[in-house]
Amino acid sequence: MEKLVLVIHVLAALGVIGLVLLQHGKGADMGASFGSGASGSLFGVSGSANFMSKATAVFVMIFFTTSLTLAYMSSHRVSGSVVKANAANVVTGAKSLPADVVVPKAPAGSEDIPSQPAK
């Protein structure tokens, strides 16, 4: 489920980026008057603003919703954390580790090496 929401989130982000880049700002009409000629291209002068702004609002709403959903899912995720598993052992004083934790062994001859440097 989380992967599906993540895919929708990425697609919505790409949609917002694409639509914002396709829209022209308020100063674009001045550039169009000097020969650019792209002010009323595909959807007409006012039609593109309405369609593009509504589509951008829809993609932004989807992006915002998936952001909140992903945040909720990640905060309520059940994980097999070693820290959480050992928290109970610290409180009770137990010395056992979970079966999947591998404790590295000290190399041979390391008993002679002091843990603190000599002063």
User: In this predicted model, what pLDDT tens digit does every residue of 73-82 receive, in sequence order?
Assistant: 988 876 665 5
Residue 3 has a pLDDT of 93
Residue 12 has a pLDDT of 97
| Band of residue 51 on the pLDDT scale cut at 50, 70, 90 | confident
Q: How far apart are CA 116 and CA 114, in angstroms?
A: 5
- pLDDT at residue 55 above 90? yes
| Band of residue 23 on the pLDDT scale cut at 50, 70, 90 | confident
Residue pair 97/103 in contact by the 8 Å Cβ criterion: yes
The two tokens of residue 1 are 């489920």
DSSP annotation of 116 reads: S
Please work out, in degrees rounded to the nearest 5, the angle formed at the alpha carbon of residue 104 by the alpha carbons of 98 and 108. 145
Residue pair 74/90 in contact by the 8 Å Cβ criterion: no
